[in-house]
Amino acid sequence: MKKLSWIVGLSVLGALIWAVMHLVGWRKPVEDTYSKHLSILTYNTHRMGEFLNPDKNRVILYLQRQNADILCLQEVEVYKEDRYLTLRELREALHDYPYTYFDFSVYNKRRQFGNAVFSKYPLINKQTIRYRSRANISSQCDIVVHGDTIRLITNHLESNRLENLDSTFINKLDTARSIRREQAKVLRLARKKSPYPLLMVGDFNDIALSYTYLIVKGWMRDAFLETNLGHLGNTYERRGLGIRIDYILTSRDLHPTECHVDRVNYSDHYPLIATVGWD
């Protein structure tokens, strides 16, 4: 009986250590000795700052102040009507990024909604990863940078749609979780098939203990965990509850040298920014 208690105790301790290592940063940044670098910002923009025109749009004004090499944006919403944010206005406002990839999951006569990538480096081989989903997609492209090619997959995985805590609360959670499981399997295959170093970023709509995160991540590096000893890194807060659901993951041949959450209240998410290095 005593031996069984020890086994149970060690199992519980192991599970707790495993959980903490996925929820809390466990390393200080390593010394940066890499010859090549790339900075990435991922941000769920909450309908692109409520689709206000650029001079009043806090999300766009924020992005203009950043100097990341790559902007990976989710929930980008633009309109055909000039009284709202248009695609032309968005392009012009972020003119420092000459290479773009707009990947809209909703596209009609009035508006477009989906993912966008703005880059200081050429983007090639653009393609959409579609799912059984109303408005959630993943967007894949390759970045030609410093003589190398890096594959980027920007994700907006299935939302829980919990705006109203009504009688369908549990059903909504179960449905969204089921769809994300299928999305995670697709992304696992995309990860394994990548012929290049890989960046997997965006809004996973799930925590770091979830099936979604663990299946997508595999043996990839989590940029936040590897550079923020003792920090939680919440990227989404609602009603006093903060959780980490936005990620920058890298393949093993890319090395996160810095990563931080920028706690600006321009969306219901916070931007996540990282720098990766390689030789």
Domain extents in the chain: 22-278
User: Which residues in the chain come in under a pLDDT of 50?
Assistant: 8-19
pLDDT at site 19: 47
pLDDT at site 9: 46
pLDDT at site 15: 41
pTM, two decimals, is: 0.92
pLDDT in tens, 176-188: 999 999 999 999 9
45 phi, psi to nearest 5 deg: -85, 0
Task: Look up the CATH architecture of domain 22-278.
Answer: 4-Layer Sandwich (3.60)
Mean pLDDT of the chain: 90
pLDDT at site 224: 97
Question: What's the maximum distance between 2 C-alpha atoms anywhere in the chain?
Answer: 74
pLDDT at site 172: 65
pLDDT in tens, 134-158: 899 999 999 999 999 999 999 999 9
